[in-house]
Structure formats: C-alpha cells, structure tokens
Amino acid sequence: MYIGETRTSLFKRLNDLRMELRSGNLMPWADPHAEAACLWAWQDAEGFAYECSAAPLDATANGRMGMEAYLLYQYRQEHGKSPLCNFGQFHPRYRSSSRRSGNLRGGKLEDGQKDNPAGNPSQPPLSPVGKPGEPGWMGLTWSSPVVLASEKTPSTPAGPCLYILSDAGAGEIIAIGQSGDCAHRLADLTTKPGDERILQVSLHCQEKTIFPHQLRELETDLIGNYFGEYRKSPAGQYNNR
C-alpha cells in the first residue's frame, strides 16, 4: 500500500498514523502525513486492515530518502505499478482532504461525480537501460546538455518534462527532477542563486498527457536507478529537507 521513510522515531510515526486512521467517519487531513488520507479511503472502501514492516537505517537525509526512492523503484520494477498510496495517488471514488489550514474534509464521491484523476493507473516503470546521464538512460530520449543560463537556455515547451541537472565541469549529476511546466521550471532554476559551479540541464519532454502522480513515478524511477548504481543520491537531490 505504501513505502515511506521517517526521521522521527518509528513508534511515534506509526502511533500518529494509527490515530489518524481511527478517526471514524472523518478522513484525515493531508498533513502532516500525506499518505493517511489515502490509506483511510481504501480502508473505508474495502475494509482493509494494515500491518507494517520496518528496518533501521543509519543515514543522512539524502541517504534515507534515496533509499526510499530505490525501494519504490524496485517495487515498480517487480510489480509493474506503484503502491496505491505513494506519489499522491488516491482511491478513484474518493476526494482527498485538504491540508489542515484549508479546512476541507475529503470523502466518498457521490454517484455521477467523475472519478478522482489521482486514481488513474500507475505509469509503467521505466526500463533500466544505460547509465545515469547517458543519452538513452532508462529508455528515454534526453536532449544534449545545455548550460543553465538565461541567455543560453533554449526556448522550452510549457508541457511536462523530466530533467537532469549536472555540473558542466565535473559532469556529475546534481539533481534529477520533474515538472508539469518545463519552461517555468527552467526559468526558476536559471534565476535561483547557486555556487560557483557552471550548471547544465538535459531534458526529456513528455509528449503525451500525464497526471502529476505519474510524473512523480517516473522521477522516482530515475532517482532509484541512480541510487542503485552509485549507492547514493545526487548530491543536491534532497537539499533543505
């Protein structure tokens, strides 16, 4: 149902989640535990009962979150789909609660209402082809790297994309990401203050319609494959988390 990580004690994390799932007819808020509302919806719809398996991990945030991405990547490779409550997926016949500050409780959709688009099927997992940063990595068509500077960054379509941010000098991948609006994301990266390194970006633009949770699945496939290759995350992948 869900694969996750926590920087707090496991007892506290699971106890908090247990309390949220015991909220009766009230779907939990989307924070602080984003998966709680989805687990509640499937529990309400199907009568599911949950159990947990955990493993200790002595690692930095970058290592811990990289391992989470790797486990999700492996799950998708083995099962051909994602756990039901990862990546912002949701039960198709339920709407999610807002964050607590929004004060909008979710619940079951009425007959005749359209399915929740977050309930659309998982994107098929990417094929583990090539090495991170290579032109055909993971079976995708990547653009040639271009220096990330306002006067040099090419015009980019406003559609969804995956991107690789790397150090132009060392050739090292710094971060892997996705965006529903590639042009806006590139403009944001270009104006963001950085260090002395010259950064470059390589893109894979999505030509077909894709939902936000499906784009996050593909991003995690890339990060997970990188982690499996080098046993670490890109150096800037989880900064400020």
Tell me the pLDDT tens digit for each residue of 214-228.
999 999 999 999 999
Could you give the dihedral angle defined by the CA atoms of residues 166, 169, 172 and 177, in that order, rounded to the nearest 10 degrees? 0
3-state secondary structure of 94: strand
Looking at residue 8, its pLDDT comes to 86
Residue 108 scores a pLDDT above 80: yes
Task: Calculate the CA 231 to chain-centre distance.
Answer: 19
Looking at residue 123, its pLDDT comes to 96
Of 221, 222, 231, nearest to 80 by C-alpha is: 221
Q: Where are the beta strands (DSSP E) in 114-182?
A: 146-147, 161-167, 173-179
CB atoms within 10 A of CB 75: 18
pLDDT digits (tens, 9 = 90+) for 124-136: 999 999 999 999 9
Q: Find the mean pLDDT for residues 71-99.
A: 97
pLDDT digits (tens, 9 = 90+) for 152-205: 555 677 789 999 999 988 889 999 999 999 888 888 887 776 667 889 999 999
Looking at residue 137, its pLDDT comes to 98
Question: To which H or E segment does residue 107 belong?
Answer: strand 107-108
Q: Find the mean pLDDT for residues 204-216.
A: 91
Threshold 0.85, pTM exceeds: yes
How many H helices and E strands in the chain? 5, 6
Looking at residue 155, its pLDDT comes to 66
61 vs 240, higher pLDDT? 61
